[in-house]
A and B are shown apart, each in its own frame.
Chain A
């Protein structure tokens, strides 16, 4: 049996194939988004929004609305609240983020415990890759496709916004609208990722691929290709590994992403830590 067969064998089961498809879609969309998040310095914001969508998801379940709607409302509410707390009190931004997202996340946990439902808190916190049903997959695919399409169409505007919002404004674009677009897509993507790897680990998918790609290239156009490729490959390897090793799938996917990041960080031929230690003078000069 070739290594490729070994990797592909688990996916002869339909539920494994669905799990892989859902994971790959979520990971790819998160990875594209992560390129801008790491460049703007919004990693913490990604963390906050991912957690803050929880009460929205529960309330959406309660009234029978799509999860994405609840997530979007609460994701944007979180961003709004963070801005209000930061601007109208002595509290600085990092503390404002910490206060708002933990408050909303706690509210979500309380809601889960009182709302009679089939929502399993464990699945929300840690994800439930193998429990992805056909209907879930459709929802993930639709949200993922919409988010990805918007990101691709608006990629140059988002890059300009990340690089120089003042110039974006001065040529007639709206930095406010672009940041709302990015945060809205963040909330949407968080709800997709949440079903796969859970609230806690979705943050990893929203940061690591973009950070890895940044280490590999000096052009954002290439980052936007490299990050989703890494994320997709990590999804395949992670889900397959979880099958053979009988470990948590969400965790496995994130661990593979992390391994790739640290491999690049240590071993990059020119900028890696190993290369820098070997020629300290050259790195000091650059």
Chain B
């Protein structure tokens, strides 16, 4: 574990009532790299994100973000979360530019009025995800992939040091997917901490520097080539090695599903 980690979880346990969502998780995420968080539904990926943003309080253990508490980093606007789009009303009466501008709110005054520098940041972010021409369209008029790019642009406009993305590639067209992957690689190269949760193992090798397998606790952690080896996956998800990638053995554990 690197001494310069920007996110540290130390023996973190989170429970919902009687259900343990995260069990004694210790992990350190380094800046300047894309880290993929892989696990089946209910593996605790969203819970882990919640602990990093301070939305969820661990029952035991400690979370440190950018050298301070999760709440401090969040309030300083240094953390951005990109939700799975299902969470928001796609038909909301806002334009694409309005949504991207929300990334700037943390640094604006009482009424969140945009200044010229903020407008410039919004314009740049839209250009980076190739949505400049659609800036004045209602957010609901975009395709799924374009909408996801709009949320990536909002995260860019925020200029945060830590980017958390929940399934950014789920249900996205190929062009949008590649564009998002490029943007994330760029941010990581510029020194940001990028943590991406995903089901999609096929393209991880090119897109992540490090893969963390989560099943309520950390079951594997390392470079993609190591972690994504069939034996490791099989051991991690409790499958017999021969049927490593077969979904029928334990459907929810199939790491390749979930692109619908």
Contact = CB atoms under 8 A, between A and B. Distances in A.
A160 B93 contact: no
Given A164-B102, A169-B53, A170-B81, A153 B111 contact: yes
A171 B80 contact: yes
A39 B87 contact: no
A217 B112 contact: no
Contact of A163 (B53, B55, B94): B94
B115 to A, nearest CB: 14
A39 B89 contact: yes
B110 interface: yes
B154 interface: yes
Instruction: Report the contact-size class of chain A (Cβ under 8 Å from the partner).
Output: 20 to 34
Interface stretch (A91-99, A140-148, A218-226): A218-226
Contact of A223 (B74, B83, B93): B93
B93 A218 contact: yes
Interface in A153-174: 153-157, 159-160, 162-164, 166-167, 169-173
A39 B93 contact: yes
A171 B112 CA distance: 13
Contact of A219 (B81, B87, B95, B106): B95
Interface residues of B, number: 30
Contact of B94 (A154, A169, A214, A220): A220
B110 A163 contact: no
B92 A39 contact: yes
A173 B105 contact: yes
Indicate the member of A155, A157, A162, A167 with the most B CB atoms within 10 Å.
A167
Nearest to A166: B83
B250 interface: no
Q: 9 nearest interchain CB pairs? A: A171-B106, A156-B112, A172-B75, A218-B138, A170-B81, A220-B93, A164-B88, A218-B93, A163-B92
18 contacts: A39-B93, A156-B105, A159-B94, A163-B99, A164-B83, A166-B55, A166-B83, A167-B81, A167-B154, A170-B55, A170-B81, A171-B102, A172-B74, A172-B106, A173-B105, A217-B93, A219-B98, A220-B94
Interface of B: 53, 55, 74-77, 79-81, 83, 87-89, 92-95, 98-99, 102-103, 105-106, 110-112, 138, 140, 154, 158
